[in-house]
Chain A
Amino acid sequence: MEEIRQKLRAFIIENFLFGRSDEELHDDDSLIERGIIDSTGVLLLVCFLEQDLKLVVQDDEIVPGNLDSLDRLAAFASRKLGLEDYGTVSPAPLETVFTSDAEAV
């Protein structure tokens, strides 16, 4: 789980903060509110989750509730991979957070 979190952090810093190490990224920072992600970025992120972390992401799971911060990403990935540590993120209201799954990992 920690390894996944590190991979996610590295990916975000590399692609949305342009590798700048002086840019702080807190685990609960909203990528939307930080203004560092656009729709191309979201597609890139999903691509990373599928290719690097081997998740199968359904269309209706592409929502801020699952993807908009390191915490949310880590929790989403953990749930998908069936890991114990789900983190402490509560689902955002008005959004689908997690669809029923049949994904093989």
Chain B
Amino acid sequence: MMHSINVAEYLLDGKSENMVALRLPEADYSYGDLGAGAREFAAHMTNAGCTKGDRILLLGVNSFHWAAAYLGILQAEMVCVPLPGNLHAEELEYYVETTRPRAAYVDAQLLARYRSVLAVEGVTVCCEAPTCTNGWFQFAHLPAVQPSSAPLEEPAPIGLAALMFTSGSTGQPRGVMVSHRNIVANTNSIVDSLQLSERERMMAVLPFYYCFGASVLHTYLKVGAMLVIDNRFAYPEVVLERMDKTQCTSFAGVPSHYQILLRNSSLARKRLPHLRTLLQAGGHLASSFVQQLQQILPRTRIFIMYGQTEATARLACLPPEMLAAKPESIGKAIPGVRLRIVNESGEEAARGKIGEIVADGENVTLGYWRAPGETALVFRNGSLHTGDLATMDEDGFLYVIDRAKEFVKCGGTRISCRQIEDKLLECEELLEAAVIAVRDDLLGEAVRAFVVPRQGANHAVAERVRAFCKSNLSRIMIPRDIVVLDSLPKSSHGKVQRMKLRTLVADAPGDMCIEMAAADS
């Protein structure tokens, strides 16, 4: 009988028990502790009546208990559903109804908030134990106030490890079905492409419920390295200091992490002699920021990467030594992955021509949970249609153009929103920028730019940004409207929510400043 792949075994087997796996502010936890915690959690779930294929929710910030529960669920071949900890109760209801969980691990602090939603007959709730004299976990014993859900018609697919929910531009979040095989394949590929070793110390600020954060957890555990967990990125100086103290060798972030570090922290004045590797994924980081990183941290290797939840995590990587030669590129497919640029006729596009990125590999996930229609649209003939438009140059390097919706059609000319954003971000005063198309009576569509200054939002910022635009943007790209905000609306994964931007301001043209309520004193 073929031994089936199990992510928990794949990550924990053969590790030296005493090696530190997770360094938290309060304590170190070894690979031995992780293994013991995972086994304890798996046993609890089994004793509570959970079986293979049952869904178990995971609610909380990155922690030892989160990781141990995660590995325990995988070890027991149940299905993990990691979720953000800042959901409103009715958002959690959606996930409970959609996934029909048999159990949930919840950070003790969040329990009061989600008590009523989770108090479903037959659902076991578990938290971290305050002290670990009797073990790492304890049951919360919620009295069930809601009847148990009807059982699902078909069981979960065999080999399913996790449901990673991701939001599309419309509708409710969809659960990407990630298998054990997917995780092992993608982890192997990433470890290979980054050449990771056990000597690494990764500053882990990305939430593990997000595929990029999960891939950081998988890859660094796989090689026996250490993850320094810190959930205090709201205080970037605190995290920078901790990186220094713990001698971190690596940092992974989405664009907003780097934007904040470069424009709203003391990174430029810090010496971080142990920092050698920066990983960037989760969207496009403007060139001006990449260049600044290279200037400030000349001895680090910067890996620009591309992927999506539907691909487990990672699809492509730009080797650091190619940053200068191929700026703006997302690189080439990582080992084991094949990427094609496919045109509307379904054929592979010629070099330099725009098409959709289509991915093949063992990391292509099983589809969307209970959404056969959407699954059929995106996962066609075993390949993943990413929805991202790109070109490939003569050397095989990929360049993401824009998602199809992110253009402005201005007087007949198609302008890329990203191009304008990148230019705006060359204005040192700005932390973030997002550009959308808005209706215009004369031109059909016009450019509306939302900008976030490093310091507080006020009307003078709009004037200065407009002056910057006049000097630095071609006439067609100059925004009709400049809206100054304190922050851009973002998802829990840190991605800018363009849909929310569209409804933020009425259609009237002109510059304005939207200050947060508290600033009015």
List CB contacts (< 8 Å) of A61-105 with chain B: 62-64, 93-95
Q: Judge if A3 is at the interface, Cβ distance under 8 Å.
A: no
Q: Judge if A24 is at the interface, Cβ distance under 8 Å.
A: yes
**Residue-wise interface mask of B (448-490) relative to A, using a CB-CB cutoff of 8 A (1 in contact, 0 not):** 0000100010000000000000000000000000000011001
Q: Which residue of B lies closest to A30 (CB)?
A: B109
Q: Judge if B499 is at the interface, Cβ distance under 8 Å.
A: no
B residues within 8 A CB of A44? 486, 516, 518-519
> Are B518 and A47 in contact, with the CB atoms below 8 A?
yes
List CB contacts (< 8 Å) of A19-52 with chain B: 20, 22-24, 26, 29-44, 47-48, 51-52
> Are A40 and B487 in contact, with the CB atoms below 8 A?
yes
List CB contacts (< 8 Å) of B1-35 with chain A: 25-26
List CB contacts (< 8 Å) of B241-267 with chain A: 260, 264
B residues within 8 A CB of A95? 238
> Are B238 and A39 in contact, with the CB atoms below 8 A?
no
Contacts A40-B487, A44-B486 given; does A34 touch B110 at CB 8 Å:
yes
**Residue-wise interface mask of B (191-210) relative to A, using a CB-CB cutoff of 8 A (1 in contact, 0 not):** 00000000000000000000
B residues within 8 A CB of A47? 456, 518-519
Report Cα–Cα, A44/B517, bound state, in Å: 10
- Contact pick for A35, options B84, B237, B518, CB 8 Å: B84
> Are B61 and A64 in contact, with the CB atoms below 8 A?
no
Main secondary structure of the interface of B (DSSP, over half): loop
Report Cα–Cα, A60/B246, bound state, in Å: 19
List CB contacts (< 8 Å) of B69-102 with chain A: 84-86, 88-89
Interface centre among A30, A35, A41, A64 (most CB of B within 10 A): A35
A residues within 8 A CB of B422? none
Q: How many residues of B contact A (CB 8 A)?
A: 35
Q: Judge if B236 is at the interface, Cβ distance under 8 Å.
A: yes
Q: How far is the CB of B486 from chain A (nearest CB, A)?
A: 6
> Are A48 and B518 in contact, with the CB atoms below 8 A?
yes
Contacts A34-B109, A35-B86 given; does A52 touch B234 at CB 8 Å:
no
B residues within 8 A CB of A94? 25
Report Cα–Cα, A95/B232, bound state, in Å: 12
> Are B61 and A32 in contact, with the CB atoms below 8 A?
yes
B residues within 8 A CB of A35? 61, 84-86, 492
B residues within 8 A CB of A37? 234
Q: Which residue of B lies closest to A94 (CB)?
A: B25
Q: Which residue of A lies closest to B485 (CB)?
A: A40
Q: How far is the CB of B58 from chain A (nearest CB, A)?
A: 14
Q: How far is the CB of B95 from chain A (nearest CB, A)?
A: 15
Q: Judge if B107 is at the interface, Cβ distance under 8 Å.
A: yes
A residues within 8 A CB of B492? 35
Contacts A20-B88, A47-B456, A52-B521 given; does A33 touch B234 at CB 8 Å:
no
> Are A39 and B264 in contact, with the CB atoms below 8 A?
yes
Q: How far is the CB of A4 from chain B (nearest CB, A)?
A: 15
Report Cα–Cα, A32/B60, bound state, in Å: 11
Contacts A32-B61, A44-B516, A51-B521 given; does A63 touch B109 at CB 8 Å:
no
Q: Judge if A6 is at the interface, Cβ distance under 8 Å.
A: no
Q: Which residue of A lies closest to B89 (CB)?
A: A22
B residues within 8 A CB of A29? 109
> Are A33 and B231 in contact, with the CB atoms below 8 A?
yes
Query: Hey, which bits of chain A sit against chain B, CB under 8 A?
Result: 11, 14-15, 20, 22-24, 26, 29-44, 47-48, 51-52, 59-60, 62-64, 93-95
Query: Hey, which bits of chain B sit against chain A, CB under 8 A?
Result: 25-26, 60-61, 84-86, 88-89, 107, 109-110, 112-113, 231-238, 260, 264, 452, 456, 486-487, 490, 492, 516-519, 521
19 CB contacts below 8 A, A to B, read A15-B516, A15-B517, A24-B113, A30-B109, A33-B60, A34-B85, A34-B110, A35-B84, A35-B85, A39-B233, A39-B234, A40-B452, A40-B487, A43-B264, A44-B519, A47-B519, A51-B521, A93-B25, A95-B238
Top 6 A-B pairs ranked by shortest CB distance? Answer: A35-B86, A40-B487, A35-B85, A42-B234, A39-B234, A37-B234
